[in-house]
Amino acid sequence: MSTLFKQPAIPSPGDCLALMAAYGMLPNIREHSLMVRDVALYLGTFLVEAGFTLRLDLIEAGALLHDLGKTYCLGTSLNHAEWGAQAVNDAGYPEVAQVVREHIFLEIPSDDSRPIREAEVVNYADKRVLHSRVVTLADRFADLFVRYGKSHEAKSRIAGLEQGARRLEAKLFRPLTLHPMDLLELNDTRRKLWPNCAWR
Protein backbone atom coordinates (compact mmCIF):
# COMPACT_ATOMS: atom_id res chain seq x y z
CA MET A 1 0.00 0.00 0.00
CA SER A 2 1.24 3.45 -0.82
CA THR A 3 2.21 5.57 2.20
CA LEU A 4 0.00 8.24 0.65
CA PHE A 5 -3.07 6.39 1.95
CA LYS A 6 -1.80 5.40 5.38
CA GLN A 7 -3.45 6.87 8.46
CA PRO A 8 -1.11 8.98 10.62
CA ALA A 9 0.28 7.08 13.58
CA ILE A 10 -1.70 7.09 16.81
CA PRO A 11 0.08 6.05 20.03
CA SER A 12 -1.28 3.04 21.88
CA PRO A 13 -2.40 3.46 25.50
CA GLY A 14 0.93 1.96 26.52
CA ASP A 15 2.79 4.49 24.40
CA CYS A 16 0.77 7.26 26.05
CA LEU A 17 1.68 6.02 29.52
CA ALA A 18 5.33 5.91 28.49
CA LEU A 19 5.14 9.54 27.32
CA MET A 20 3.49 10.51 30.62
CA ALA A 21 6.37 8.90 32.49
CA ALA A 22 9.00 10.40 30.21
CA TYR A 23 7.68 13.91 30.88
CA GLY A 24 7.36 13.33 34.63
CA MET A 25 3.59 13.71 34.79
CA LEU A 26 2.47 14.09 38.40
CA PRO A 27 0.27 11.24 39.72
CA ASN A 28 -2.77 13.48 40.25
CA ILE A 29 -2.56 14.77 36.67
CA ARG A 30 -2.21 11.20 35.43
CA GLU A 31 -5.36 10.19 37.30
CA HIS A 32 -7.21 13.18 35.87
CA SER A 33 -6.08 12.18 32.38
CA LEU A 34 -7.24 8.59 32.88
CA MET A 35 -10.71 9.78 33.87
CA VAL A 36 -10.86 12.23 30.97
CA ARG A 37 -9.98 9.28 28.75
CA ASP A 38 -12.86 7.25 30.16
CA VAL A 39 -15.37 10.07 29.68
CA ALA A 40 -14.16 10.90 26.17
CA LEU A 41 -14.11 7.30 24.99
CA TYR A 42 -17.50 6.55 26.51
CA LEU A 43 -19.07 9.60 24.87
CA GLY A 44 -17.19 8.96 21.63
CA THR A 45 -18.54 5.41 21.47
CA PHE A 46 -22.11 6.68 21.73
CA LEU A 47 -21.45 9.22 18.98
CA VAL A 48 -19.96 6.58 16.67
CA GLU A 49 -22.96 4.35 17.29
CA ALA A 50 -25.17 7.32 16.37
CA GLY A 51 -23.44 7.47 12.99
CA PHE A 52 -20.71 10.08 13.46
CA THR A 53 -17.31 9.49 11.89
CA LEU A 54 -14.81 9.60 14.74
CA ARG A 55 -11.57 7.77 15.43
CA LEU A 56 -11.84 6.32 18.91
CA ASP A 57 -8.09 5.64 19.03
CA LEU A 58 -7.45 9.33 18.38
CA ILE A 59 -9.95 10.31 21.07
CA GLU A 60 -8.30 7.93 23.53
CA ALA A 61 -4.75 9.12 22.84
CA GLY A 62 -5.76 12.77 22.82
CA ALA A 63 -7.51 12.40 26.16
CA LEU A 64 -4.61 10.55 27.76
CA LEU A 65 -2.07 13.11 26.56
CA HIS A 66 -4.12 16.32 26.79
CA ASP A 67 -2.27 17.45 29.94
CA LEU A 68 1.16 16.14 28.97
CA GLY A 69 2.60 19.64 29.35
CA LYS A 70 0.89 20.52 32.60
CA THR A 71 3.55 19.28 35.04
CA TYR A 72 6.36 21.05 33.18
CA CYS A 73 4.39 24.29 32.88
CA LEU A 74 3.21 24.50 36.51
CA GLY A 75 4.36 27.75 38.10
CA THR A 76 5.35 29.27 34.77
CA SER A 77 3.59 31.50 32.26
CA LEU A 78 3.84 28.80 29.59
CA ASN A 79 0.70 27.57 27.84
CA HIS A 80 0.54 23.89 28.78
CA ALA A 81 -1.76 23.03 25.84
CA GLU A 82 0.69 24.47 23.31
CA TRP A 83 3.72 23.04 25.11
CA GLY A 84 2.13 19.59 25.34
CA ALA A 85 1.04 19.70 21.70
CA GLN A 86 4.60 20.44 20.64
CA ALA A 87 5.90 17.54 22.73
CA VAL A 88 3.35 15.16 21.22
CA ASN A 89 4.14 16.42 17.71
CA ASP A 90 7.86 15.95 18.35
CA ALA A 91 7.09 12.35 19.37
CA GLY A 92 5.65 11.79 15.90
CA TYR A 93 1.91 12.14 16.47
CA PRO A 94 0.70 15.32 14.71
CA GLU A 95 -3.01 14.39 14.75
CA VAL A 96 -2.93 13.76 18.49
CA ALA A 97 -0.95 16.98 18.95
CA GLN A 98 -3.83 18.94 17.42
CA VAL A 99 -6.30 17.38 19.87
CA VAL A 100 -3.97 18.30 22.74
CA ARG A 101 -3.66 21.85 21.40
CA GLU A 102 -7.46 22.26 21.38
CA HIS A 103 -8.28 20.81 24.78
CA ILE A 104 -8.75 24.29 26.30
CA PHE A 105 -9.74 26.46 23.33
CA LEU A 106 -11.32 24.88 20.27
CA GLU A 107 -10.21 26.10 16.86
CA ILE A 108 -12.29 26.50 13.70
CA PRO A 109 -10.80 23.92 11.34
CA SER A 110 -10.30 24.83 7.70
CA ASP A 111 -9.86 21.24 6.50
CA ASP A 112 -12.39 19.26 8.55
CA SER A 113 -16.06 19.70 7.73
CA ARG A 114 -17.37 16.90 9.95
CA PRO A 115 -20.18 17.93 12.31
CA ILE A 116 -18.27 16.61 15.34
CA ARG A 117 -14.50 16.23 15.70
CA GLU A 118 -12.32 14.23 18.09
CA ALA A 119 -10.90 17.44 19.57
CA GLU A 120 -14.41 18.52 20.57
CA VAL A 121 -15.06 15.26 22.41
CA VAL A 122 -11.77 15.52 24.34
CA ASN A 123 -12.28 19.23 25.05
CA TYR A 124 -15.71 18.53 26.52
CA ALA A 125 -14.54 15.50 28.51
CA ASP A 126 -11.82 17.61 30.13
CA LYS A 127 -14.45 20.18 31.14
CA ARG A 128 -16.41 17.42 32.91
CA VAL A 129 -13.57 16.07 35.07
CA LEU A 130 -12.55 17.86 38.27
CA HIS A 131 -9.33 16.28 39.48
CA SER A 132 -10.27 12.60 38.98
CA ARG A 133 -14.06 12.77 39.33
CA VAL A 134 -16.76 13.45 36.78
CA VAL A 135 -18.79 16.52 37.75
CA THR A 136 -21.30 18.84 36.10
CA LEU A 137 -20.13 21.80 34.04
CA ALA A 138 -21.46 24.06 36.81
CA ASP A 139 -19.25 22.38 39.42
CA ARG A 140 -16.21 22.31 37.15
CA PHE A 141 -16.41 25.99 36.32
CA ALA A 142 -17.19 26.99 39.91
CA ASP A 143 -13.86 25.40 40.83
CA LEU A 144 -12.09 27.18 37.96
CA PHE A 145 -13.46 30.53 39.10
CA VAL A 146 -12.17 29.93 42.66
CA ARG A 147 -8.73 28.73 41.56
CA TYR A 148 -8.02 30.96 38.58
CA GLY A 149 -10.48 33.86 38.66
CA LYS A 150 -8.06 36.26 40.33
CA SER A 151 -8.71 39.19 38.02
CA HIS A 152 -11.54 40.63 35.97
CA GLU A 153 -9.78 39.47 32.80
CA ALA A 154 -9.40 35.94 34.16
CA LYS A 155 -13.04 35.78 35.25
CA SER A 156 -14.16 36.99 31.84
CA ARG A 157 -12.03 34.35 30.11
CA ILE A 158 -13.42 31.56 32.32
CA ALA A 159 -16.98 32.77 31.75
CA GLY A 160 -16.36 32.62 28.01
CA LEU A 161 -15.03 29.09 28.33
CA GLU A 162 -18.12 28.07 30.29
CA GLN A 163 -20.46 29.47 27.65
CA GLY A 164 -18.54 27.61 24.97
CA ALA A 165 -18.63 24.39 26.98
CA ARG A 166 -22.40 24.65 27.38
CA ARG A 167 -22.86 25.14 23.65
CA LEU A 168 -20.58 22.17 22.98
CA GLU A 169 -22.50 20.03 25.47
CA ALA A 170 -25.76 20.80 23.67
CA LYS A 171 -24.18 19.96 20.32
CA LEU A 172 -22.69 16.64 21.46
CA PHE A 173 -25.76 15.33 23.27
CA ARG A 174 -28.50 16.58 20.93
CA PRO A 175 -28.29 13.48 18.66
CA LEU A 176 -27.93 11.01 21.56
CA THR A 177 -30.22 9.23 24.00
CA LEU A 178 -27.38 9.74 26.52
CA HIS A 179 -27.84 12.70 28.88
CA PRO A 180 -24.99 14.81 30.32
CA MET A 181 -25.92 13.71 33.85
CA ASP A 182 -25.44 10.08 32.82
CA LEU A 183 -21.69 10.66 32.71
CA LEU A 184 -21.66 10.98 36.51
CA GLU A 185 -22.18 7.23 36.66
CA LEU A 186 -18.62 6.78 35.41
CA ASN A 187 -17.40 7.68 38.90
CA ASP A 188 -18.70 4.30 40.08
CA THR A 189 -18.24 2.19 36.96
CA ARG A 190 -14.97 3.37 35.37
CA ARG A 191 -13.01 0.29 36.49
CA LYS A 192 -15.68 -2.00 35.04
CA LEU A 193 -16.04 -0.28 31.66
CA TRP A 194 -12.81 -1.40 30.08
CA PRO A 195 -11.83 -4.66 31.86
CA ASN A 196 -9.57 -5.83 29.02
CA CYS A 197 -7.28 -2.78 29.10
CA ALA A 198 -4.01 -4.18 30.41
CA TRP A 199 -2.58 -0.70 30.92
CA ARG A 200 -4.97 0.10 33.80
Length of the chain: 200
Q: What is the pLDDT of residue 2?
A: 47
Low-confidence ranges of the chain (pLDDT < 50): 1-3, 193-200
Comparing CA positions, the residue from 79, 74, 128 lying closest to residue 105 is 79
Q: What is the pLDDT of residue 5?
A: 55
| Per-residue model confidence (pLDDT) at position 192 | 52
pLDDT tens string 117-165: 999 999 999 999 999 999 999 999 999 999 999 999 999 999 999 999 9
Return the DSSP state at 25.
-
For residue 183, which of 141, 144, 133 has the smallest C-alpha distance?
Answer: 133
Residue 194: per-residue pLDDT: 47
Percentage, residues of the chain above pLDDT 70: 91
Does the domain at residues 11-105+116-188 carry the CATH identifier 1.10.3210?
yes
Query: Phi/psi class of residue 176: alpha, beta or left (left: φ > 0; alpha: ψ in -120 to 50)?
Result: beta
Q: Which amino acid is at 35?
A: M
Q: Residue 178's closest CA among 47, 53, 85, 75?
A: 47
pLDDT of residue 6: 63
Per domain, the residue ranges of the chain are 11-105+116-188
Q: What is the pLDDT of residue 190?
A: 64
User: What pLDDT is recorded for position 163?
Assistant: 97
CA dist 152 and 154 (Å) reads: 5
Q: Which residues contact 152 (CB under 8 A, 6 or more apart)?
A: none
Q: What is the pLDDT of residue 195?
A: 46
Please tell me the predicted confidence (pLDDT) of residue 111: 85
